[in-house]
Amino acid sequence: MSSAQPDFDLRDRSIMITGANRGIGAALCQTILQYSPKIIHATYRSEPGELDDPRVRWCPLDLRTPETLARLAESVGELDVLINNAGILLPTATDPAEEHANLVAMMQVHLHGPLQLVDILLPALQRSQHPMVVNVISMSAFVNVAGCEAYCTSKAALHSATQGLRVKYPNIRCVGVYPGPTATDMTAGSAVTLADPADSAGAIIAGMIDGESSIFPDPAARAVESVIGASVTALEAQFAGLLVE
């Protein structure tokens, strides 16, 4: 499902990673530091991560609270790469009102928040010579999982929005990342095989550097790619050529 573009150099880049205090976000921070970035704006909702490095600037951010988005944008002078990684998983509720509230919360974190971040950080990204937006989505964007229907719906929305960003901002590289089940706090107690966050982070960074537009960073994700990857890429390319009246 990849569409290769010219290689990307992370050296001396300004990067923002949301949800960087744990899981894939923390692993991305650790991996990117190996490439000598200028600064990583690492955001967290409750507590900053344990990574202590002068190139890492910990920033509070709750995607469910719009005012924190504006405060964060005001503190960012330059930005080359935005990695929308923050996520939440609220299991399906039996009460319809509670389930609707769960969907609203996950749509805010997985769709509205990332798009709002792109909007408010757009001036900084457009000043970059090599701007990039990376949305960490999920392989569940392509198929619903029992017990996680609202979560899958929100991730499917982010997948569609990522395609839309490519059309809307052709001068910004917009990358979709589709991990399978990964060993994070979110999946604690899961009976399925879980990917290692460090391995996934390495695959994500390698894909970014290699110019991939869609990254499937672990075995479960690559199995999904083998089924739907080429057809989705072809369909996106076909629709990108349609003229809007």
Domain positions in the chain are: 14-240
Residue-level pLDDT, tens digit, the chain, 245 residues: 545 555 689 999 999 999 999 999 999 999 999 999 999 999 999 899 999 999 999 999 999 887 888 888 888 989 999 999 999 999 889 999 999 999 999 999 999 999 999 999 999 999 999 999 999 999 999 988 888 999 999 999 999 999 999 999 999 999 999 999 988 766 566 667 789 999 999 999 999 999 999 999 999 999 999 988 677 777 777 777 675 55
Contact at 8 Å (CB) between 118 and 168?
A: no
Q: Which residues of 25-59 are buried (b: 16+ CB within 10 A; e: fewer)?
A: bbbbbbbbeeeebebbbbbbbeebbebeeeebebb
Q: What is the pLDDT of residue 75?
A: 85
What length does the chain have? 245
pLDDT at 182: 87
pLDDT of residue 147: 87
Name which CATH class applies to 14-240.
Answer: alpha beta
Give the pLDDT of residue 188.
Answer: 60
> Looking at residue 244, what is its pLDDT?
56
- Which token pair is 209? 């550097």
User: In the structure encoding, which two tokens stand for residue 59, read together?
Assistant: 């920033």
Quote the pTM value: 0.91
